[in-house]
Structure 1
Amino acid sequence: MNGQGDFAATLTGWAHQAGEIALGWLSSPAAWSQFGLLAVAYLVARLAAAQFTPIVTRLLDPAAKAGPFANARRFALRFVPLMLPLIAYGLTALGEEVTRATFGSGEVIAFGKRVFIFLAARILVREVLTDSFLRLLGKYVLIPVAALYVLGVLDDITQRLDETVIALGNIRFSVLALIRGVIAGAVLFWLGSWSNRQSASYIKAQDELRPATRELAVKAVEVMIFGAAFLLLLSIMGIDLTAVAVLGGALGVGIGLGLQQIAANFVSGIILLIEGQTTVGDYVELDGGERGTIVKMTARACILETFDGRWIVVPNDHFITTRVVNYSDQGSANRYEAPFSVSYDTDINRVPEIIETAVAALPFVLQDLDGPDCELRGFGESSVDFAVEYWVAGIDDGKNKYASQVNFAIWNALKAAGIEMPYPHRVIEVKGGSLG
């Protein structure tokens, strides 16, 4: 209750002080002259902004040009609406020097300067900022702070918050430091997220780097950005880093005892990125039966996309501790085979040439790796078994369907050559009677 009473008394004192200042201004010729200078400064600033805004807009507008310089011009163009309050602020600053030299006071015009700063803050939030987070921060932090600054109570409130101390064990910090830390943390981590997206886009656009190297660079930059943001936040809040070192030691013990699997996956992810044996875009198969194309590699796991569109999350340590079959290896060729059979009445010496010619005519079959190879595999109960081996630059999946086209080619070639593909025959022998 005492705290509430003190705060109410403080507000009452501020209101009484503001009333006395207002009455003093109304009865002072120097104050009225300063009000006149403020009005003149606003009108001149309005006319100057109307004249210079079209000129500045034409100079900064990059039209349809691309590139970093054009993007910088577009960014600067967004600040054109601030021209009016900034010009007015500059004119009032000049007028303040004149009034202080002439009348020995300039409180009214100093108040006007703060008003123009408040107007600039409002325009910045409403017309300049486009990011939703920054607009929210400006609406609930920047504009209220600017309003307190206009009223001249910002320093008193800041001092009051700085004197209120919160203690958490050996760590002590003021309410002002807490508020400053929350605001600074939000800004720093938003800036870190934005910087991480920009750097990731730039790194992934470097085609001369291996995909694994690009992923490793992206992760390294991400760790550095957010690590620097965290340390800077601790410094802003005034937290002793020795206490953080103790906390880090305890966290290390916790990782060693309870988070071994997470740490193993993190280290395994770094190893995978450094070695580059498996990377984004590879089609892999693990001992556990998981198979698919790697579409994303995170610090904890790899994301596999199957041919039917499902995503499988595989922990990184599975790629280190188990056998992994990589069918892609950055686009290398893969060999497949298609088995088929012919009847025993066939001249089997003709079959290899017929099938190899038919399969070699397919546009996706590679010729520079021995070409198609038709082999005799064995003699079955009712057929002679063959298989044709062929190489393709890709994976036989639901998108490519190499095997289906090869089987069509085998069927059509055998039919065109008059070769029969047999079906099972059974001979039934009846003893001691007849079927009639």
Structure 2
Amino acid sequence: MDTDTTTRFLDDHLYKIQSLIEDPNSYLQLLVIAVIYLLAFVMAYKIRHSVGLTHNEPLESAHPLRKLGFRIGGILFPLLAILLLHVSKKAGETLEYTPWLIGTALAIAVLLFGNSLIRAFVQQTFAASLFRWVGLPILMLHLLGFLPTVIQALEEISLDVGNVSISAYGVARVLIFGSFLFWLGRTSNNFGKAVIRKQTSLDIPTKEVFSKLFEVGLFCIIVLLLLNIMGINLTTLAVFGGALGVGLGLGLQSIASNFISGIIILLDRSLTVGDFVELDDGQKGFVREFKMRYAVLETYDGKDILVNSSLH
């Protein structure tokens, strides 16, 4: 960010502060903002205490959707404030005056909403700190209009390796969005599998099949999104897909065999969670869990044994 841009930004806001003091409409905007925040708080309070799903904290063993509803209750206040402030801003623009003070309050509400999302949905301490100290500043730069300038400055910092140009912006984008996708994929996977396993209408083998398919589908989506963020042309990548698929097929055929064998075992119901199993080498245990490529056996002495699905 250069000095001229910073100077223009400071001059612009000093002018707006002076206009705030001199313009009677500014006091009207302050009153509207106060009323909106009060109204949003009252509405959020009423909703949370009227709907048991968002008010009563669920037990650890509660249904995942029940826990999700409670967490949504924690973001109602900033969400309602954003909606009401956005409506007020559009109404002001329709009346042909610039409600910049309401726009500032809207930006603050968006930051509060982002912080509420982190507090409600990000349980890991490291991930929460990463979102607060990296994600929120990026959001603030976007709201202030400085993000394009920062991106342009990072793009100018580049390193040429042969025909490939690596910029600081490209590296930062992959790291930031890659970390976000990794967290999102892991969280979504845990949530989706928990929801599937809570379905009382499905038997255990069916739940495990759906859990595996959900995990694989989500993994494919995350990989495609990450490739897109890295700037890899998926159309070009498809040209090499055949040859690459043959190579991967030869190298990963045992993994694919284990995965398909696990699906077959679950579908034909020859083995399910809780069954007693004795292996060829004499080890014995109960099936506790099915993973993508193996089953987990728990022996009498409490040890876990990982058994490839293709060895059944």
Shorter-chain TM-score: which interval? 0.7 to 0.9
- Which structure has greater strand proportion? 1
Q: Deviations over 1:40-89 (max 9, x none)?
A: 23332344345444433333344669889866753442223316843773
Measure the CA separation in 2 of the matches of 1:269 and 1:83.
Answer: 44
Structure 1 counterpart SS, 2:2:
helix
| Structure 1 equivalent of residue 131 of structure 2 | 138
Indicate the percent of aligned positions where both proteins have the same amino acid.
Answer: 29
Is 1:24 equivalent to 2:20 in the alignment? no
Structure 2 counterpart SS, 1:314:
strand
8 Å Cα contact 2:63/2:195 also seen in 1: no
Structure 1 counterpart SS, 2:35:
helix
Measure the CA separation in 2 of the matches of 1:214 and 1:253.
Answer: 32
Measure the CA separation in 1 of the matches of 2:20 and 2:259.
Answer: 73
Measure the CA separation in 1 of the matches of 2:212 and 2:20.
Answer: 66
Q: Deviations over 1:312-346 (max 9, x none)?
A: 33333332xxxxxxxxxxxxxxxxxxxxxxxxxxx
| Structure 2 equivalent of residue 201 of structure 1 | 194
| Structure 1 equivalent of residue 228 of structure 2 | 235
Q: Deviations over 1:102-143 (max 9, x none)?
A: 5xx5656544543443344445545x4453366334302332
Farther-moved stretch of structure 1 (285-294 vs 182-191): 182-191
Give unmatched runs, 5+ long, in structure 1. Answer: 1-9, 320-436
| Structure 1 equivalent of residue 77 of structure 2 | 81
| Structure 1 equivalent of residue 274 of structure 2 | 281
8 Å Cα contact 2:262/2:310 also seen in 1: yes
8 Å Cα contact 1:88/1:116 also seen in 2: no
8 Å Cα contact 1:173/1:238 also seen in 2: no
Instruction: Report how many residues are paired.
Output: 305
Measure the CA separation in 2 of the matches of 1:306 and 1:68.
Answer: 30
Letter in 2 for 1:57: R
Pairwise CA distance, 1:217? 2.5
Measure the CA separation in 2 of the matches of 1:226 and 1:197.
Answer: 12
Q: CA RMSD in A?
A: 4.0
Question: Higher relative contact order at CA 8 Å, sep ≥6: structure 1 or structure 2?
Answer: 2
- Which structure has greater helix proportion? 2
Please tell me whether Structure 1 or Structure 2 has the larger radius of gyration of its CA atoms: 1
Measure the CA separation in 1 of the matches of 2:25 and 2:295.
Answer: 68
| Structure 2 equivalent of residue 424 of structure 1 | none
| Structure 1 equivalent of residue 140 of structure 2 | 147
Is 1:221 equivalent to 2:217 in the alignment? no
8 Å Cα contact 1:42/1:88 also seen in 2: no
| Structure 2 equivalent of residue 317 of structure 1 | 310
Pairwise CA distance, 1:240? 0.7
Relative to structure 1, is the Cα distance of residues 272 and 144 closer, same or farther in structure 2, using a 3 angstrom cutoff?
Answer: same
Q: Deviations over 1:145-180 (max 9, x none)?
A: 233235431232234445666777777676545544
